[in-house]
């Protein structure tokens, strides 16, 4: 196993940071990695907002489901899926473009996340931990206003970075499902109820939750992750963003 | 600059592969890297299809805007944004779940691409080149049938992998825009016409296209990348996928 693979294996999200700035050069290296990422048609269908204003960080930590650790991160980047830039180029240079549609914005989301993950890997190689904040998709109206977002831009992820405190370095990485439930050959395979039960049981056992009642476990997950206020808000808000991209 | 950063900088997409299999262990390492990626709420909102059937590869090379090199790749993975798995778990265990919505599928798309980019980086570290195929978003009806996709699954990217031929190793990486046009501090900045012109001019000059008329250049890009049949088809098809995720 080479250094890159080892780093990928050992990497886990960090939510408590040392009270220590990220030096300018390190920050540059992290952002540069975004630029080196593959991008559809070399179009760079993303923009990156570098959130340096402490008050803005605080406001985003509130719009993102009230997670105060966000405001304490020394580096906060918002990755925007951006079709505004190319649409504006086409408009300025008299191409009479159509409005961006669903395919355009999904391609831009992919572009933005590919770039984001490159920064996460680059950061890790420099001893800087990170955490994705999907909640940046919530509260469309407030976030649009805070970040001056035009119509053809969608904040697909926020990533916060910083030096991990010791306890974060030592914490266990959450277990994954067994590969047979995630990777299929040639065609999608829809798991049976028994396979669902086994999939969750195996993972829970690996997590040390061996006596968990699966139905109770799934119901709790559903309440907390799927029927909860933040999940409903994310759907409402994401719909607002996507409504601009109707072909 | 450490090895990881150097690798990220040197990586470019590969579209011509040596006629050489990827050994099983190398393939395992590539797929394992997907599992090690950060994932929202440890939910793994993705599935991976390992396309081993040569005929299926050929069919996908056609549905993906007729790109024959796809069929020649020794490893082809389709990354599915997958809310079907958790929705089925919730259903089987009597949670009476709502239907997945726009926020759910965008979160799943991010999850799937984060995993995909980990495989791309892992592959590179093992000498295996790769190329994203966004065109997997096209031809929804055909692709759904070919891959047996249920409603709450969306193919956000395909990645093809293989050992690069010498000419691919030596080709120039496409130039990126200057950072000032992509990275903004705190708020989104919408570029003026003059800034658009400058942004494209600088990049074209770096590409060695110094005498390019910018209006002509942008019009060609618009015709080829935005008003073209494949772009219109991608929008039509992506809308079909997203129509299942309306909250």
Torsion sign across C-alpha atoms B7, A120, B30, A6: positive
**What is each CA distance from A235 to A66, A70, A104, A136, B238, in whole angstroms?**
17, 22, 20, 12, 18
Structure-token pair, residue A136: 């940046």
pLDDT at position B78: 98
Q: Which of B125, B168, B144 is nearest to B36 (CA)?
A: B125
| Predicted local distance difference test score (pLDDT) of residue B152 | 98
Contacts of B200 in chain A (CB under 8 A): 89
Subunit contact A4:B124, Cβ cutoff 8 A: yes
| Interface touch B113/A118, C-beta < 8 Å | no
Homologous superfamily, domain B3-172:
NADH Oxidase (3.40.109.10)
Residue recorded with tokens 């109206």: A141
Give the integer Cα–Cα distance in Å for B105 and B84.
10
Report pLDDT for A29: 98
Closest CA to A14 of A121, A162, A123, A127: A162
Do B48 and B34 form a contact (C-beta atoms < 8 A)? yes
Region for residue A149 given its phi and psi (left: phi exceeds 0; alpha: psi -120 to 50; beta: otherwise):
beta
A113 inside 8 A of chain B by CB: yes
pLDDT at site B212:
80
In this prediction, residue A242 carries a pLDDT of 98
Give residues 137 to 166 of B whose Cβ lies within 8 Å of A: 137-138, 146-150, 153-154, 156-157
Torsions phi, psi for A133 (to 5 deg): -120, 95
Minimum-distance CB partner of A242 among B1, B185, B242? B242
Contact B182, A56 (CB under 8 A): no
pTM comes to 0.98
Whether the CB of A8 is below 8 Å from some CB of chain B: the reply is yes
Verify whether the Cβ–Cβ distance A38 to B80 is below 8 Å.
no
From its phi and psi, is residue A44 left (phi > 0), alpha (psi between -120 and 50) or beta? Answer: left
Q: How far is CA B36 from the centre of its chain?
A: 18
Please check the confidence at residue A210 and state whether its pLDDT lies above 80: no
Tell me the C-alpha distance between B208 and B187, whole Å.
Answer: 33
Query: What length is written for chain B?
Result: 247
Across residues A135-141, what is the average pLDDT? 98
Q: For each successive 10 residues of chain B (247 residues), what is the average pLDDT?
A: 95 97 98 98 97 98 97 98 98 98 98 98 98 98 98 98 96 97 98 98 93 92 96 98 95
CB atoms within 10 A of CB A232: 16
> What pLDDT shows up at residue B1?
87
CB B39 within 8 A of CB B111: yes
Residues of chain A found within 8 Å of residue B131, distances taken between Cβ atoms: 38
How crowded is residue A193: how many other Cβ atoms within 10 Å of its Cβ? Answer: 12
Q: Helix, strand, coil % (nearest 5) of chain B? A: 55, 15, 35
Contact B186 A149 (CB under 8 A): no
Kindly determine whether residue A239 and residue B247, on different chains, have CB atoms separated by under 8 Å. Answer: yes
Please give the Cα distance from B133 to B70 (Å, whole number).
9
Q: What are B207's two structure tokens?
A: 């590409």
The predicted structure's pLDDT at residue A1: 87
At B8, list the tokens.
């990220």
Please give the angle made by the CA atoms of A86, A91 and A94, to the nearest 5 degrees.
125
Cα-based angle A12, A14, A18 (whole degrees, multiple of 5): 140
| pLDDT of res. B210 | 77
Contact A49, B184 (CB under 8 A): yes
Q: Looking at residue B126, what is its pLDDT?
A: 98
A93 — contact with chain B (CB < 8 Å)? yes
Residue of B nearest to A93 (CA): B215
pLDDT, tens digit, 9 for 90 and up, residues A71-90: 999 999 999 999 999 999 99
Nearest to B79 by CA among B122, B57, B110: B110
Whether B188 and chain A come into contact, CB under 8 Å, resolves to yes
pLDDT for the residue A145: 98
Tokens (6 digits) for B143: 């692709």
The DSSP call for residue B152 is: T
Residues in chain B closer than 8 A to A59 (CB atoms): none
The two structure tokens encoding residue B149: 């996709």
- Which tens digit of pLDDT belongs to each residue from A6-54? 999 999 999 999 999 999 999 999 999 999 999 999 999 999 999 999 9
Instruction: Determine contact: B187 vs chain A, CB below 8 A.
Output: yes
Cα–Cα distances in angstroms (integers) from residue B196 to residues A97, B52, B145, in the given order: 16, 44, 42
CB pairs below 8 Å between A and B: how many?
Answer: 355
pLDDT of residue A211: 76
Helix (H/G/I), strand (E/B), else coil: B163: coil
A188 close to B (CB below 8 A) = yes
What three-state secondary structure class fits B19?
A: coil
Contacting B residues, span 18-57, partner chain A, CB-CB under 8 Å: 29, 31-33, 35-44, 46-53, 56
Do the chains contact at B47 and A247, CB–CB below 8 Å?
A: no
Query: How far, in Å, CA of B42 to CA of A224, rounded?
Result: 13
- Measured between CA atoms, how close is B170 to chain A, in angstroms? 16
Strand partners, B149: none
Residue A106's pLDDT is 98
Whether A200 has its CB under 8 Å from any CB of chain B: the answer is: yes
How many residues belong to chain A?
A: 247
3-state secondary structure chain A: CCHHHHHHHHCCCCCCECCCCCCHHHHHHHHHHHHCCCCHHHCCCEEEEECCCHHHHHHHHHHCCCCHHHHHCCEEEEEEEECHHHHHHHHHCCCCCCCCCHHHHHHHHHHHHHHHHHHHHHHHHCCCEEEEEHHHHCCHHHHHHHHCCCCCEEEEEEEEEECECHHHHHCCCCCCCCHHHCEEECCCCCCCHHHHHHHHHHHHHHCCCCCCCHHHHHHHHHHHHHCCHHHHHHHHHHHHHHCCCCC
């Amino acid at each position: 196993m080479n250094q890159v693979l080892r780093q990928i294996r050992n990497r886990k999200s960090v939510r408590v940071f040392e009270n220590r700035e990220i030096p300018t050069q390190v920050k540059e290296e992290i952002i540069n990695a975004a630029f080196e990422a593959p991008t559809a048609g070399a179009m760079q269908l993303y923009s990156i907002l570098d959130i340096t204003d402490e008050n803005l960080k605080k406001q985003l930590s509130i719009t993102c489901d009230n997670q105060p650790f966000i405001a304490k991160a020394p580096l906060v980047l918002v990755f925007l899926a951006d079709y505004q830039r190319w649409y504006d180029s086409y408009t300025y240079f008299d191409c009479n473009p159509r409005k961006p549609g669903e395919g355009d914005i999904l391609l831009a989301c992919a572009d933005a996340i590919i770039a984001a993950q490159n920064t996460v890997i680059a950061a890790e190689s420099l001893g800087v931990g990170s955490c994705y904040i999907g909640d940046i998709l919530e509260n469309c109206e407030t976030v649009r206003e805070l970040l001056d977002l035009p119509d053809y831009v969608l904040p697909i992820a926020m990533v916060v970075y910083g030096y991990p405190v010791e306890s974060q370095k030592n914490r266990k990485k959450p277990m994954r499902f067994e590969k047979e439930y995630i990777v299929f050959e040639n065609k999608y395979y829809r798991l049976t109820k028994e396979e669902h039960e086994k999939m969750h049981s195996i993972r829970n056992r690996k997590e040390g939750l061996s006596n968990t009642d699966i139905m109770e476990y799934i119901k709790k997950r559903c309440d907390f992750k799927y029927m909860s206020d933040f999940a409903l808000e994310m759907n409402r808000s994401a719909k607002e963003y996507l409504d601009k991209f109707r072909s």
